[in-house]
Chain A
Amino acid sequence: MKLLEYEAKTVLGSYNIPVPKSSLVDDPEDSIPVPTVLKSQVPVGGRGKVGGVRIVEKAEEVSNTASEILSLTIKGHTPKVLLAEELLSIEHEYYLSLVINKSAAVIELMAHKEGGVEVEEQSNFKRWPIDDQNTANVAAELADYYDFNDTENLSMLLTNLYRCFTQSDATLLEINPLILTVDNKLVAGDCKMTLDDAARFRHPEWDFEEAPANANFVTLDPHGSVATIANGAGLAMATVDAVADAGFTPANFLDVGGGANEASVLAAFEKIMEYPNISAIVINIFAGITRCDEVAKAIISAKDQISDLPKLYIRLAGTNYEAADELLTSAGIPLLPSLADCLAAIQENSQ
Chain B
Amino acid sequence: MNHELFTDLQNVIVQGITGTHGAFHTGAMVAAGTHVIAGTSPNKAGQKLDGIPVYGTITDIKKDFSIDASVIFVPAPFAKTAIIEAVDAKIPLIVCITEGIPVHDMLIIKQHMQEKSSTLIGPNCPGILLPGRSKLGIIPATMGTPGSVGVVSRSGTLTYEAVASLTERRIGQRYVIGIGGDPVRGTNFIECLELFEKDPAVSHIVMIGEIGGSDEQTAANYIAASVKKPVYAYVTGHHAPSGVQLGHAGAILDSADESAKAKTSALQEAGAVTATSLIGLIDQLTSDIKSDHLLQ
Task: Give the complex CA separation of A198 and B99 in angstroms.
Answer: 9
Task: Give the complex CA separation of A131 and B110 in angstroms.
Answer: 13
Choose among B110, B140, B251, B276 the residue that contacts A245 (Cβ–Cβ < 8 A).
B276
Q: Contact: B160 with A233, CB < 8 Å?
A: no
Q: Contact: B77 with A237, CB < 8 Å?
A: no
Q: In the complex, how many angstroms separate the beta carbon of A112 from the nearest chain B beta carbon?
A: 17
Task: Give the complex CA separation of A318 and B167 in angstroms.
Answer: 13
Task: Give the complex CA separation of A330 and B279 in angstroms.
Answer: 30
Restricting to B148-172, which residues have a CB under 8 Å from any CB of A? 153-161, 164
Q: In the complex, how many angstroms separate the beta carbon of A283 from the nearest chain B beta carbon?
A: 13
A317-B104 contact, Cβ under 8 Å, with A215-B246, A255-B246:
no
Q: Contact: B102 with A233, CB < 8 Å?
A: no
**Is A110 close to B, CB under 8 A?**
no
Q: Contact: B21 with A318, CB < 8 Å?
A: no
Q: Contact: B245 with A215, CB < 8 Å?
A: yes
Q: Contact: B21 with A201, CB < 8 Å?
A: no
Q: Contact: B103 with A240, CB < 8 Å?
A: no
Q: Which residue of A lies closest to B251 (CB)?
A: A233
Which of A99-107, A152-160, A274-282 makes up part of the contact surface?
A: A99-107
Contacts of A244 in B (CB 8 A): 238-239
A238-B138 contact, Cβ under 8 Å, with A198-B76, A318-B160, A338-B279:
no
Task: Give the complex CA separation of A235 and B279 in angstroms.
Answer: 12
Task: Give the complex CA separation of A286 and B251 in angstroms.
Answer: 19
Q: In the complex, how many angstroms separate the beta carbon of B98 from the nearest chain A beta carbon?
A: 11
Task: Give the complex CA separation of A231 and B161 in angstroms.
Answer: 12
Q: In the complex, how many angstroms separate the beta carbon of A224 from the nearest chain B beta carbon?
A: 11
Max count, chain A CB within 10 A of own CB: residue among B158, B210, B213 = B158
Q: B residues bordering A, Cβ < 8 Å?
A: 21, 76-77, 99-104, 106-107, 110-111, 126, 138-140, 143, 153-161, 164, 181, 183-184, 188, 208, 210-211, 213-215, 218, 236-241, 244-251, 260, 276-279
Closest 4 CB pairs of A and B: A234-B155, A233-B247, A232-B157, A235-B157
Please name 30 pairs of A and B residues whose Cβ atoms are closer than 8 Å in the assembled complex, sorted by A.
A102-B183, A102-B250, A103-B213, A103-B214, A103-B215, A103-B218, A107-B107, A166-B104, A196-B103, A196-B104, A198-B100, A198-B102, A218-B241, A230-B157, A232-B155, A233-B181, A233-B248, A234-B181, A234-B210, A234-B236, A234-B247, A237-B211, A241-B260, A245-B277, A253-B240, A286-B160, A289-B138, A318-B140, A318-B143, A339-B279
